[in-house]
Amino acid sequence: MTWNTPDTWTTGQLVTAEDLNLQLRDNLNYVHSGKPLAGIAYSAGSDYQTNSGTLVDIDGTNLKATFTTTTGRILITFSGTFYADGAARLLNLDVDVDGALMGPSGMVKEVLDAAPRLVTFVVAKTGLSNGSHTVKVKWTVGGGWAYLFSDSSCQVHLTVWEL
């Protein structure tokens, strides 16, 4: 089911059953049946790891959502359990939409240590053109190593909804 751009009606225009079905019924069905959703719950089988001082993809193949929008607005959610090889490791997370970062140096900052820590975020992106878009999560760590659990008991979740 797709969204049909509504007509601009004019005085005296004859409204047909086809017009009503396309403009009202089909668009109401689209809105009330839910918009497209791209959801990924991924288990790599072993932990992800990085010691990169610059933002890099967590997993540009398996933790990537390709999504088609007709509104130009999406909602992105992410959750994962992180830990580090030592104390006071600064984790930066950011969202890459079509090759452009949403935050210039990391939108989410979390100080990690050896204890596992659930990190989640929800962010909206507006002003996208209608069509296909790719969403990825990037990370960097300040000194040492950061790890992201990714096995059958602790999956990484990335979900993108059209708003």
Query: How confident is the model at residue 19, as a pLDDT?
Result: 87
Q: Which amino acid is at 5?
A: T
Q: With bands split at pLDDT 50, 70 and 90, how would you rate the model's confidence at 1?
A: low
pLDDT digits (tens, 9 = 90+) for 144-155: 999 999 988 889
pLDDT digits (tens, 9 = 90+) for 97-114: 999 999 877 789 999 999
User: What does pTM read for this prediction?
Assistant: 0.78
User: What span, in angstroms and rounded, lies between the C-alpha atoms of 12 and 14?
Assistant: 6
Paired tokens of 53? 């001082």
Q: Which amino acid is at 74?
A: I
Does residue 108 contact residue 94 with C-beta atoms inside 8 Å?
yes
Paired tokens of 80? 């994962």
User: What span, in angstroms and rounded, lies between the C-alpha atoms of 75 and 68?
Assistant: 13
End-to-end C-alpha distance for the chain, whole angstroms: 16
Task: Name residue 64's beta-bridge partners.
Answer: 136
The pLDDT of 7-34, averaged and rounded, is 85
